[in-house]
Amino acid sequence: MSTEKLRLLDFSNPKIKTLHITWFAFFLTFVVWFSHAPMMAIIKESFGLSTPQIKALLILNVALTIPSRIVIGTLVDKYGPRSVYSALLMIGGVICIGFASAQTYEQLAIMRFLSGFIGAGFVIGIRMVSEWFPAKQVGIAEGIYGGWGNFGSAAAAMTLPTAALLFGGEDGWRYAIGSTGVMAFLYGIFYRRVAKDTPKGSTYFKPKKHGGLEVTSRGDFYFYILMNVPMYLALAVLTWKLSPSNLGLLNETTSMAIYISLVVLFVIQVRTIHHVNKENLAHGVPQIQRYKFKQVAVLDVAYFVTFGSELAVVSMLPLFFLDTFAGLTAVQAGLLASGFAFMNLVARPTGGHLSDTIGRRKTLSVLIAGLTLGYLLLSQIDSEWYIPFAVLATMACSFFVQAGEGAVFAVVPLVQRRMTGQIAGMAGAYGNVGAVCYLTVLSFVDYSTFFLVIGASAAMVFLFVQFMDEPTGKMAEVMPDGTVQLIDVE
């Protein structure tokens, strides 16, 4: 499977231009989503917040991202990435400005919860990039998109504290965070004007029905419903973390109302999924149009352990270094931990490139195995380690983590083109579910056990990956006139 060299500076090439304007859109969503992180100490002092209140804000920041990635994936498949990305950037920008303008803790909490919406931007570009790049290049293209986009969180950490100082005064942090919202809003307008959903002459395939994935067998129908359960459980865990028995942001009545709402929403979703698939279940699907839902399920759990562990580790790594090695300052610990996020720039594109060149399942297997060993190595770090070796160990582990993310989304567009947004949304949501699960584990165990749990779960995912079929041949998509078009997947 050879890969034609991408000329990434050839802006005269429409697909290269699309790649660059799209990864920058994703980059801005992560800048906005994590704009609060480097300002938390200032915000805590400005509002006189307690440590539990700060923890609640951090949890609220990821809560809405789980369902919003599913919803955004559906909207992308229905309306196209150009319209959805521009709308998300503009709405997310307004929410960010609202957070920067908050005058009470309650306003901060509401705006931080709503900010999780912009964290769904990732899935939009997955569909956009897959429309512009052929199967033999889609892995590295998605890797560049994901790697450079994810770097937005690191860019926010590096630039916003300085920007706050330049703005000056007690409200410097407000102007710094608010400016990212303004940039996102303006870029949303730009993206709407410049981006195109598909190359000229290409068809944008859409699902026949919306509200859930179309599956092609009764077994896959039940499998799909089962795979939705962990997302609702993760939202229930988040509610529990915010309940009176933990952080205390929610009272007993509100917590119970949320639990009941989650059950009702799950029942509604099951009914919707059945409605979407009723015809397929009754009359069957032609063999040429079938796909196996197990492909989606494997990608979900693979992203659970890759991106899920990345979000969790990035959240705790500075504190890990601070607590493990005596004499470090908070600033030094943060700098040592930053190497984990920096690997995104090269690791995700590398994972996508390897997937394009040596095979999808083989690449994912090797990277998940490396991730497993990496976390087992991190579990052995203690105060006796030489600090540079500890940093190298975290960076080596993070390479496999983020290259694994690139390998996952090298496969996502090759399952079923018309549902790429929904498949990406479900996999992306599983990444956030993973973060919730791992951070919950961390609240009960020490650092070494935390890394061991991630390593053990990665070993299980390695076994699941062996059940994934290597994408080969062609996928069938139905044209608007009812004819079938075959699309290469290798």
What is the reported pLDDT for 312?
A: 87
| Paired strand residues for 485 | 477
Q: Is the pLDDT of residue 236 over 70?
A: yes
Whether 378 is in a domain gets the answer no
What is the reported pLDDT for 3?
A: 43
Whether 275 is in a domain gets the answer no
Residue 398 burial (C-beta neighbours within 10 Å; 0-12, 13-18, 19+): buried
Q: What is the pLDDT of residues 111-164, one digit of tens each?
A: 999 998 898 999 999 999 999 998 888 889 999 999 888 888 888 888 888 888
What is the reported pLDDT for 5?
A: 65
Residue that has been written with the tokens 């600090």 in this structure:
387
What is the reported pLDDT for 476?
A: 65
Q: Is the pLDDT of residue 13 over 80?
A: yes
What is the reported pLDDT for 44?
A: 86
CATH number, residue 178: 1.20.1250.20
Determine the Cα–Cα distance for residues 313 and 344; give it in Å rounded to an integer. Answer: 14
Whether 303 is in a domain gets the answer no
Hey, how many other C-beta atoms are within 10 angstroms of the C-beta on 25? 26
Q: Is the pLDDT of residue 478 over 70?
A: no
What is the reported pLDDT for 243?
A: 86
Q: How confident is the model at residue 319 (pLDDT cuts 50, 70, 90)?
A: confident
Whether 146 is in a domain gets the answer yes
Round the average pLDDT of the chain to a whole number and report it: 89
Mean pLDDT of 311-333: 83
Mean pLDDT of 401-419: 91
Whether 304 is in a domain gets the answer no
Mean pLDDT of 88-95: 97
Which of the two residues, 323 and 488, has the higher pLDDT score? 323
Which range has the worst mean pLDDT, 184-193, 251-260, 474-483?
A: 474-483
Mean pLDDT of 274-278: 92
Whether 173 is in a domain gets the answer yes
**Total count of domains within the chain:** 1
Whether 321 is in a domain gets the answer no
Q: Which residues contact 401 (CB under 8 A, 6 or more apart)?
A: 306, 309, 310, 313, 343, 347, 371, 374
What is the reported pLDDT for 316?
A: 82
Q: Is the pLDDT of residue 167 over 90?
A: no
% of the chain exceeding 70 in pLDDT: 96
What is the reported pLDDT for 2?
A: 40
Mean pLDDT of 199-219: 85
Q: Is the pLDDT of residue 484 over 90?
A: no
% of the chain exceeding 90 in pLDDT: 53
Which of the two residues, 372 and 169, has the higher pLDDT score? 372
Mean pLDDT of 318-333: 82
Mean pLDDT of 250-272: 93
Q: In this structure, are residues 337 and 37 in contact, taking their beta carbons and an 8 Å threshold? A: no
DSSP letter for each residue of 31-83: HHHTTTGGGHHHHHHHHT--HHHHHHHHHHHHHTHHHHHHHHHHHHHHH-HHH
Residue 252 burial (C-beta neighbours within 10 Å; 0-12, 13-18, 19+): exposed
Q: What is the pLDDT of residues 56-72, one digit of tens each?
A: 887 888 888 889 999 99
What is the reported pLDDT for 161?
A: 86
Mean pLDDT of 23-45: 89
Determine the Cα–Cα distance for residues 24 and 178; give it in Å rounded to an integer. Answer: 18
What is the reported pLDDT for 481?
A: 57
Determine the Cα–Cα distance for residues 413 and 18; give it in Å rounded to an integer. Answer: 17
Q: How confident is the model at residue 4 (pLDDT cuts 50, 70, 90)?
A: low
Whether 148 is in a domain gets the answer yes
Show the domain range for 35. Answer: 9-204
What is the reported pLDDT for 483?
A: 63
Both tokens assigned to 439: 């951070």
Secondary structure of 320-360 as H, E, C letters: HHHHHCCCCCHHHHHHHHCHHHHCHHHHHHHHHHHHHHHCH
